[in-house]
Amino acid sequence: MVAGHYLMTMMMSFAKTARKGRWKMRRLKFAKGLLRPVISGDKKITLRRYKAEAHDFNVGDVILGIFEDGLSIPLLVTKDTVAKRFSELTEDEAIEDGFSDSQSAFEGVRKHYPHTAMFWFDYMAVIRFEVLKVEGIPVISYNSYDEGEKVR
């Protein structure tokens, strides 16, 4: 029922901002192959190079996960974003995000920012979320990455 409340709040927010000609839902992009683990609940954390205006989320925020696999999914933030240095990343956090250790996590995040120098003393964001669901069903829609036929 909590997800239903967030969905209603989100829809009311969209209605207000749509009348003003603005879109306020914040987004996180996910690489190809991450859709299935997010939907299944196996992936509930993402590590990003920290950017305050892009990664400061609070518990209860609803954000849009944009997946290169072709779907967009509303995600419910389950904890406030934690900003810390890459050197402070725990092994458990790295493993939770699907990496073998903190070094491979750092290299994995670095790979997504090829034109930006990244060092262990740079700040990263630890973002925790779950798929927004209504009565246990994930809320999903197609996005511009979709290459297949759309289902009605």
Radius of gyration of the chain (CA): 16
The pLDDT assigned to 19 comes to 47
pLDDT at 139: 83
Q: What is the pLDDT of residue 83?
A: 97
Contact between residue 98 and residue 19 where contact means Cβ atoms under 8 Å apart? no
pLDDT reported for residue 22: 54
**pLDDT below 50 — which residues of the chain?**
1, 13-19, 151-152
30-68 burial, b if ≥16 CB within 10 A, otherwise e? beeebbeebbeeebbbbbbbbeeeebebeeebbbbbbbb
Residue 66's pLDDT is 94
pLDDT tens by residue, 43-87? 999 999 999 889 999 999 999 999 999 889 999 999 999 999 999
